[in-house]
Amino acid sequence: MRSSALKHIRTVFAVLVLLLFVFLFIDFRGVFGDKAFGPILYLQFVPSFLKFVIAGVAASTGFIIILILTLLTGRTYCSFLCPLGILQDGVSRAGGLVKRRFRKYGYKKPYTILRYFILVVTAGILALGGVYVLTILDPYSTFGRLMTYFVQPVALFINNLLAGILGKFDIYSVYRVDIKPYELAAYIVPSAFLILIGLLAFRYGRLYCNTVCPVGTLLGLLSKVSLFRIRFDQDKCTRCGRCSMACKSSCIDFLNKSVDLSRCVNCFNCIDACKENGMSYGLVRPKRKQEKPDDTDASRRGFIAGSLVLLAGGSRLLSAQGTTPSPTRDSTVREDRLYPVSPPGSSGIEIFTSRCTACTLCVNACPTNVLQPSTSQYGFAGIMQPRMDFHSGFCNYDCTRCTDVCPTGAIMPLMPEAKKLTQIGKAVFIKENCIVHTEKTACGACSEHCPTKACHMVPYEGRLLIPEVRDEICIGCGACEYACPTRPFRAIFVDGNPIHEAASKPVTEELNTVPSEFPF
């Protein structure tokens, strides 16, 4: 096919996909239903691969489709389905608009050693049980973080501006949503990638995809032998070089009339650029030898073992305290949190940290903001993986949204009734910090918020009541910790269960006290 319609179809498709993913990640109003996430994310390569291989979800076959698609058509994924790739195309376009000469397209040699080194290291560490290199390099997760850390705050700012204006006219359908930054250390990786990818895309098009991205490199191995591919019409080509100058991947060597298929992302710009109809996309007789991805046999056991080692490093670290109004009297006893709290549906810290690529979709989807990117709570390798931060919010008793949105299988679906009995941690009461003990005045904010009354009030001095925790019915939702008014240390906090446990159902007896007359 020589039609420039290919490029236009690609552009329209890609813009729609990009918009879909942008909205998915900045959806602070929860417009996307819980069940919408699965189908949308099905074809994202790394999440689908992890969910299939590590979480063992047989239905997660999206990555196989992508592999087949690549064998048939080349790296179509990179231009049509990868949100990070499409985003870079947008940035490249902006770069071209700003200053065409500034953009350095044209054929360049690939950084072959570097790209295969990155692929081998990523796959190797994954095989040994560490997801953390993939966490940093997975294009889908990188895109997600760019949206969450940098785009969503802008969207919220605009929303709040609008809400303020509409509020003046008595319209409240647009409501304000407070912008709450994460812990500073969580910004290191996303900021570095924002700069790296931004600059590379601005000047060099798809250089990042063809050098750093392990998915790009892997699919490049397959696209070398794809059935459909970009090719020169040897007779028509005048070696004018327009194709090469239009190539975001810098993979067209027009002097030798050859295309480096491992780097070609099927953007079809070259077809559009060629005045002589000398470039086309079409069927090529496949070669006999086909390469298979070599990292599909990663050992599950290895993952868990590796993650255990990781966990040992950083699980004792405490979370930083947020800024809050100063109390009448400061609380004195520090919360001694042995383990961070991983989200419900994650089964436990080891499994969670071995599967999560920190795409932050759950962080955005969580209606209470209890899910926050970690800094060192899961250990250094677990940076950015979400944890339950009960100073930011608490887990809504009836909510299972994070379990529905997770694309990697790090958080597996839970039915609401199962979630209500999943104990992710246990509340620990520190009497020395409690208002009832220190001020001798009534409080009970913790018990007030407790959905199971695991945290309940028992007689203290005089008519005062003081909290007490029943471990067996506590699910670790953190409502108590969130509500506790003492500062800087809370009088009640949730210590994570390294492996989630089953809580007992709260027992209540029937009441028989319906009055038939007013007692006054």
Q: Binders of other proteins among 459-498, rule CB under 8 A?
A: 463, 465, 483, 485-486
Selected binder of other proteins within 158, 442, 499, 502 (CB under 8 A): 442
Told to check if 443 binds other proteins by CB under 8 A, we report yes
**What's the longest Cα–Cα distance across the chain?**
103
Q: How far apart are CA 264 and CA 132, in angstroms?
A: 28
Q: In terms of C-beta density within 10 A (0-12 exposed, 13-18 middle, 19 or more buried), how is residue 370 classed?
A: buried
> What count of residues does the chain have?
520
Residue 343's closest CA among 382, 392, 300, 400? 400
**Number of residues engaging other proteins in binding (CB under 8 A):** 52
For other proteins, the closer of residues 64 and 161 by Cβ is 161
Selected binder of other proteins within 222, 430, 450, 475 (CB under 8 A): 450
Selected binder of other proteins within 33, 39, 58, 509 (CB under 8 A): 509
Q: How far apart are CA 316 and CA 459, in angstroms?
A: 34
Selected binder of other proteins within 41, 449, 497, 503 (CB under 8 A): 449
For residue 488, the minimal CB distance to other proteins (Å) is: 13
For residue 407, the minimal CB distance to other proteins (Å) is: 23
Q: How far apart are CA 408 and CA 335, in angstroms?
A: 32
Q: Binders of other proteins among 358-377, rule CB under 8 A?
A: 367-368
Phi, psi of 90 (to 5 degrees): -65, -45
Q: Which is it for strands 228-232 and 422-429: parallel, antiparallel or unpaired?
A: unpaired
For residue 374, the minimal CB distance to other proteins (Å) is: 22
Told to check if 323 binds other proteins by CB under 8 A, we report no
Residue 257's closest CA among 276, 277, 273, 234? 234
Q: Which is it for strands 228-232 and 258-259: parallel, antiparallel or unpaired?
A: unpaired
Q: Binders of other proteins among 156-215, rule CB under 8 A?
A: 160, 164, 170, 172, 175-178
For other proteins, the closer of residues 195 and 442 by Cβ is 442
Q: What tokens appear for 345 in the block? A: 């549906």
Selected binder of other proteins within 26, 87, 219, 445 (CB under 8 A): 445
For residue 300, the minimal CB distance to other proteins (Å) is: 36
For residue 164, the minimal CB distance to other proteins (Å) is: 8
Q: Any alpha helices (H) in 55-213, and if so which ranges?
A: 62-73, 76-80, 83-98, 112-127, 132-137, 139-146, 152-168, 188-204
Binding mask 383-422 for other proteins (x = CB under 8 A): -------------xxxx-----------------------
Residues 6+ positions from 325 with CB-CB distance below 8 Å: 487
The contact set with other proteins (CB under 8 A) reads 30, 160, 164, 170, 172, 175-178, 324-325, 327-328, 367-368, 396-399, 435, 439, 441-445, 447-453, 456-457, 463, 465, 483, 485-486, 506, 508-511, 513-515, 517-520
